Amino acid sequence: MIKIQKETEQFPSNAKLWFYWVPRPLVEDELTYFQQSMKDFLSQWNTHGKANSADVWLIEGRCILIVAGNDYEGVSGCSIDKSVAWIKGLAIHWNMDLLDRSWVMYQAENQEWVMSKLSQFWALRKANVVHDQTLIVDSTLTHFHHVENLIKPFAQSWHAQMWL
């Protein structure tokens, strides 16, 4: 099961989520770069000069999940722009598209978390490789207080609604 690295109580009730897909597994030097870049980004990330309560998680090495909020006003547009600029910087450094929203992460029969493009995911569903109980990462979540719903069966996801 995917584990959340920090206590959820540390984030304010207005904390938001942003998902970015990593299209291929990262190699060791890329992971090292990510860890340092993340520390640098989080140490400077603020909203109108006040620090955000924030963290970045790399889920199964393939999904960058940013969580952020604060107790005074919510993460502002300028602050969100800074996070997107950081993601774009990673994308340039790694020579990959981290802004492509057409990925789906799901748990395969062998319990391994895998990713596929949405079109391939639908083909897998049609072939019944992906079924109602297949676990997926719900990248439509936008608020951290829903993080307990990050992993859900296909039948409870927005994908199932589109399948009908």
Strand partners, 55: 67
Distance CA 37, CA 159 (A): 33
In angstroms, rounded to a whole number, what is the distance separating the alpha carbons of residues 51 and 115?
A: 33
User: CA end-to-end span of the chain, whole Å?
Assistant: 28
Query: What is the pLDDT, as a whole number, of residue 1?
Result: 40
- Fill in the amino acid letter for 139: S
pLDDT on residue 93: 97
Tell me which residue of 149, 148, 147 sits closest to 68, measured CA to CA: 147
Which DSSP helix (H) or strand (E) runs through 107? Answer: strand 103-107
Which residues in the chain show pLDDT less than 70? 1-9, 164
